[in-house]
Amino acid sequence: MPDSSPSSSRPPQVGRRTLLGAAAAATAAPVVLGSASRAAAAPAPRKKPRALPGGGDLGPNVLVFDPSTPGIQARLDEVFRQQESAQFGTGRYALLFKPGTYSGLNAQLGFYTSIAGLGLSPDDTTINGDVTVDAGWFNGNATQNFWRSAENLALVPVSGTNRWAVAQAAPFRRMHVRGGLNLAPSGYGWASGGYIADSRIDGQVGPYSQQQWYTRDSAIGSWLNGVWNMVFSGVEGAPAQSFPNPPYTTLATTPVSREKPFLYLQGSEYRVFLPEKRTNARGVTWGNGTPRGTSLPLTQFYVARPGVSATTLNQALEQGLHLLLTPGIYHLSEPLRINRANTVVLGLGYATLIPDGGVTAVKVADVDGVRLAGFLVDAGPVNSPTLLEIGPRGASRDHSANPTTVQDVFIRIGGAGPGKATTSMVVNSRHTIIDHTWVWRADHGDGVGWETNRADYGVVVNGDDVLATGLFVEHFNKYDVQWFGQRGRTIFFQNEKAYDAPNQAAIQNGSLKGYAAYRVGDSVTSHEGWGLGSYCYYNVDPTIVQHHGFAAPVRPDVRFHNLLVVSLGGQGQYECVINDTGSPTSGTSTVPSTVVSYP
């Protein structure tokens, strides 16, 4: 692959997400020209567009290394210097390592940087060294270490422990750490993460100041501590259930899971591996060598480059190709329409889709087995009614054997500039699995204000039998999550209510004080959630009172386990946890109010 030097980017912009964890620290139609005499002439037949090719070069922002590549550390450092503090910059990078052994490396990861091995197993690609995320750029505060990832590598940390001090939208997937894993920044400053899946950490995981964390289908040596909300499902070595003290929510298995697609090399040929679905999953998928699943050659993908039009991307989809989005920013004049079952849309290096003119970025038909993974949707300045739609309204087909998965797909409204969307993600298709998403109405950066980046609703689930594993949704003007489908399940939820509500009247919801972070619709008869947390930090008007974090009909099969609400430093308060149940928060002590079981 060709190498290229990182280009310049915008300087970092930071703002109000700096007081998130005091406790944790202690946390138009075209015109046709022609004469009138030709107006009645029959139009010439439209030429069928030339077929688009599959496969091809991955582009200049995918840097591919093998053990004999000279100057690897210098290239890694060069990318990091650009991306370290470029929180809302335009740079996007994927760092890919061919199978083999590498020594003496420290891959520091900044914003919009992904690192991954190109083997079928993490153990095919070993780095004797570290993949590091720290928070020196932000004075030791890791609460803004978003949008970066590590995947499919084995690490032998130099000190015995690898540092991964991240916040939201920073997955650690399919990794083998032959040692320990420290989730806090050096100095143990504030931290607000995070997500691990399909990984093995031989030693201890130390979250230290991390406020919350979700670990799925993994194996760990041990887990050190918990601050507010540590959730485990299908994790060998997880601590025992003990919420709220320590705040561990532990499920022996994950009901349904299917790991994220990933790029790998078979000889000199790039392929995309598609892991199979597991039920009642526990532990890693790769423990016995080759994982179970199928693969596709890169020739079956349209390898997209930034600047390509939505029309071309849709032509590729209609042609039967999958999409591989190489790192960069893609402006969409129309939605990407995914109408074919088993279509894969895989992003590298936080490929970013921006819908122009108020369109929806992605629309998925009511078909089996679509896999969306590894990209960011950034709202445009013209309001979009929705940004991502999984299935049309009224979708009702049974997809239990082959569900659609949405994995490491992140949504942002504002921050990089003004953006608006009425609803960010709508899930209409049954049996959809939302596996790690951060849906964020920005609280800092450019284009931020109560009406400037207006976004009323984060995630709306209308489909039945939907499962969310790792649901992060924050700062929406009204409801962050609304769930209307039957038999929905959520394992781990993290939320902050909108900081910037100007006053109590702005969030008044009829007779209720504020909109719940997570609301189950009144007609729902079956729903279940485990390990759900909502925080408030009303810094514009600290006198605002939020009645509750969670709202649900009172029915025996609508059940919640291990809920909490927290007032961050007394900037606003909750009266209850769920409905009218649970103690109010009070004072400035940043102590959670909890409900272990509801009803």
Q: With left for phi above 0 and alpha for psi between -120 and 50, is residue 319 left, alpha or beta?
A: alpha
Q: What is the mean pLDDT of the chain?
A: 93
User: Of 337, 331, 536, which Cα lies nearest the Cα of 443?
Assistant: 536
Residue 6 has pLDDT above 50, yes or no: no
pLDDT given for residue 48 in this prediction: 72
- pLDDT, tens digit, 9 for 90 and up, residues 177-216: 999 999 999 999 999 999 999 999 999 999 999 999 999 9
Rounded CA-CA distance 393/365 in Å is 10
User: Of 388, 368, 440, 380, which Cα lies nearest the Cα of 192?
Assistant: 440
- pLDDT, tens digit, 9 for 90 and up, residues 582-597: 999 999 999 999 999 9
pLDDT given for residue 49 in this prediction: 78
CA quadruple 168, 170, 176, 182: dihedral sign: negative
- pLDDT, tens digit, 9 for 90 and up, residues 506-555: 999 999 999 999 999 999 999 999 999 999 999 999 999 999 999 999 99
Instruction: Show the tokens assigned to 586.
Output: 């009070």
Distances (CA, A) of 14 to 141, 217, 449: 11, 34, 14
Rounded CA-CA distance 304/313 in Å is 8
Residue 27 has pLDDT above 50, yes or no: no
Rounded CA-CA distance 65/95 in Å is 8
pLDDT given for residue 21 in this prediction: 41
Rounded CA-CA distance 93/328 in Å is 8
Rounded CA-CA distance 436/300 in Å is 26
Q: How far is CA 256 from the centre of its chain?
A: 18
**Burial class of 30 by CB neighbour count within 10 A (0 to 12, 13 to 18, 19+):** exposed
pLDDT given for residue 11 in this prediction: 33
Question: What mean pLDDT comes out for the span 236-256?
Answer: 98
Residue 117 has pLDDT above 50, yes or no: yes
pLDDT given for residue 19 in this prediction: 45
- pLDDT, tens digit, 9 for 90 and up, residues 90-110: 999 999 999 999 999 999 999
Please, are residues 546 and 584 in contact by the beta-carbon 8 Å criterion? Answer: no
Instruction: Show the tokens assigned to 590.
Output: 């940043």
β-pair partners for 594: 564
Residue 382 has pLDDT above 50, yes or no: yes
Length reported for the chain: 599
Rounded CA-CA distance 55/271 in Å is 10
Residue 496 has pLDDT above 60, yes or no: yes
**HSE on the CB side for 60, CA within 13 Å?**
6
**78 catalytic, yes or no?**
no
Please, are residues 265 and 125 in contact by the beta-carbon 8 Å criterion? Answer: no
Strands 421-427 and 322-325: unpaired
- pLDDT, tens digit, 9 for 90 and up, residues 273-284: 999 999 999 999
pLDDT given for residue 4 in this prediction: 36
pLDDT given for residue 516 in this prediction: 98
Find the catalytic residue in 151, 259, 496, 575: 496
What is the largest distance, in Å, between two alpha-carbon atoms of the chain?
A: 84
Please, are residues 449 and 500 in contact by the beta-carbon 8 Å criterion? Answer: yes
Please report, in angstroms and rounded to a whole number, the separation of the first and last CA atoms in the chain.
57
Question: What mean pLDDT comes out for the span 287-301?
Answer: 92
DSSP annotation of 348 reads E
Residue 299, number of CB atoms within 10 A of its CB: 14
Q: With left for phi above 0 and alpha for psi between -120 and 50, is residue 273 left, alpha or beta?
A: beta
Please, are residues 352 and 378 in contact by the beta-carbon 8 Å criterion? Answer: yes
Instruction: Give the DSSP H or E segment for 316.
Output: helix 310-318
**Burial class of 554 by CB neighbour count within 10 A (0 to 12, 13 to 18, 19+):** exposed
DSSP annotation of 446 reads B
- pTM score over 0.85: yes
pLDDT given for residue 377 in this prediction: 98
Residue 280, number of CB atoms within 10 A of its CB: 11
Rounded CA-CA distance 89/9 in Å is 5
Instruction: Show the tokens assigned to 327.
Output: 């790192």
Residue 171 has pLDDT above 80, yes or no: yes
User: Of 346, 270, 267, which Cα lies nearest the Cα of 1?
Assistant: 270
Rounded CA-CA distance 136/148 in Å is 16
Categorize the per-residue pLDDT at 45 as very low, low, confident or very high, splitting at 50, 70 and 90.
low
